[in-house]
């Protein structure tokens, strides 16, 4: 939560008594909240779990046909930190990831898929790493 002050008096006094502190000044009564909207864990037929993750997570995809994909994981600077080439067969597919060697934070997963007709589709997801 973010808060801000305006119009503080020239002389600001702080009073304390048994661990409690009171500072004279003006504080805005409303709080400002900063948030990043979370994308849903399910993108089409793609499910990533668990998310947040400790670094071991699974990508599950129910493919309508045979597809080739080059899954890329990006850091917050947009640099590719991992690439994994996979072949999805028609039906249920799972791909396991172990990225426990990365530090805590957000990573982005890009899954560009090419079908047998050469059509390309890319799906993006966010992975929250917690250690």
For 79-90, the pLDDT digits (tens) are 999 999 999 998
Q: Print the domain residue range for 66.
A: 42-129
**Percentage of the residues of the chain whose pLDDT score is greater than 70:** 70
The answer to whether residue 69 is domain-embedded is yes
The answer to whether residue 68 is domain-embedded is yes
The answer to whether residue 14 is domain-embedded is no
The answer to whether residue 111 is domain-embedded is yes
The answer to whether residue 101 is domain-embedded is yes
CATH number assigned to the domain comprising residue 107: 2.60.40.1940
The answer to whether residue 24 is domain-embedded is no
Q: How confident is the model at residue 72 (pLDDT cuts 50, 70, 90)?
A: very high
For the stretch 1-30, pLDDT in tens is 444 555 544 455 667 777 776 666 554 455
Q: What's the total number of domains in the chain? A: 1
The answer to whether residue 5 is domain-embedded is no
Beta strand segments in the chain, E: 14-17, 20-23, 42-43, 46-49, 56-63, 67-74, 80-88, 91-98, 105-114, 120-129
The answer to whether residue 112 is domain-embedded is yes
């Amino acid at each position: 939560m973010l808060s801000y002050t305006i119009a503080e008096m020239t002389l600001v006094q702080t009073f304390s008594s048994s661990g409690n502190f009171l500072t004279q000044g003006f504080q805005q009564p409303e709080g400002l909240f900063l948030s990043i909207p979370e994308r849903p864990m399910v993108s089409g037929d793609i499910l990533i779990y668990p998310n947040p993750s400790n670094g071991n997570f699974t990508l599950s995809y129910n493919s309508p046909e045979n597809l080739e994909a080059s899954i890329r994981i990006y850091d917050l600077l947009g640099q590719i930190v991992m690439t994994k080439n996979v072949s999805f067969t028609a039906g249920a597919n799972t791909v396991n990831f172990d990225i426990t060697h990365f530090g805590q934070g957000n990573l982005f997963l890009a899954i560009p898929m090419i079908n047998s007709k050469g059509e390309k589709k890319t799906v993006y997801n966010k992975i929250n790493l917690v250690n």
